[in-house]
Amino acid sequence: DAEITQSPRHKITETGRQVTLACHQTWNHNNMFWYRQDLGHGLRLIHYSYGVHDTNKGEVSDGYSVSRSNTEDLPLTLESAASSQTSVYFCASSERSGGYGYTFGSGTRLTVV
C-alpha cells in the first residue's frame, strides 16, 4: 500500500546544530508540503514543492530549507536549530490542486535544547 513516512518520530538536538527531517511518500504525488504544529497556531506551512526541483517558501520558512531531487522525498533541514523551532513537524503530499488525496505523515516531534 502507498504511504507517507516521516523519520525520525522523535528527535532531541542542541541549539546551533543542523538537523534534517525526512519525508518519503510512495503515492507518486507531485505536491509535497511541510507544516509545523504549535499550540495556539494550528498547522503552519513551512515549505512546499509542486514537483522535482521545485521548492517554495511558506509562511514560516525562516531558518528552514528543503530540496526536491526526486518525486518521493522532500527532506526538511534546519540550518542552525533554535529553541523556537521546537515543534511537531508534519509532512504531507497531495495528488493535485484542490486538496485531492491529501495525505499526512505521522509527524516528527523535534525538541531543541
Partner 1 sequence: AQKVTQAQTEISVVEKEDVTLDCVYETRDTTYYLFWYKQPPSGELVFLIRRNSFDEQNEISGRYSWNFQKSTSSFNFTITASQVVDSAVYFCALSGVTSGSRLTFGEGTQLTVNP
Which residues sit at the interface with partner 1, rule CB under 8 A? 31, 33, 35, 40-45, 48, 50, 58, 88, 90, 92, 94, 96-100, 102, 104, 106-107
> Residues 40, 29: contact at Cβ < 8 Å?
no
Min dist. Cβ of residue 41 to partner 1 (A): 6
107 — phi, psi (to 5°)?
Answer: 95, 150
Q: Which is nearer to partner 1, 14 or 42 (CB)?
A: 42
Please identify, using beta-carbon distances, which residue of 7 and 18 lies nearer to partner 1: 7
What is the number of other CB atoms lying within 10 angstroms of the CB of residue 100? 10
Q: How far is the CB of 97 from partner 1 (least distance, A)?
A: 5
Helix (H, G, I), strand (E, B) or coil at 83: helix
Cis amide leading into 8 (omega within 30): yes
Please identify, using beta-carbon distances, which residue of 72 and 95 lies nearer to partner 1: 95
- Closest separation in Å from C-beta 18 to partner 1: 25
* Angstrom distance (rounded) from CA 44 to CA 35: 5
* Residue with Cβ nearer partner 1 (16 or 47): 47
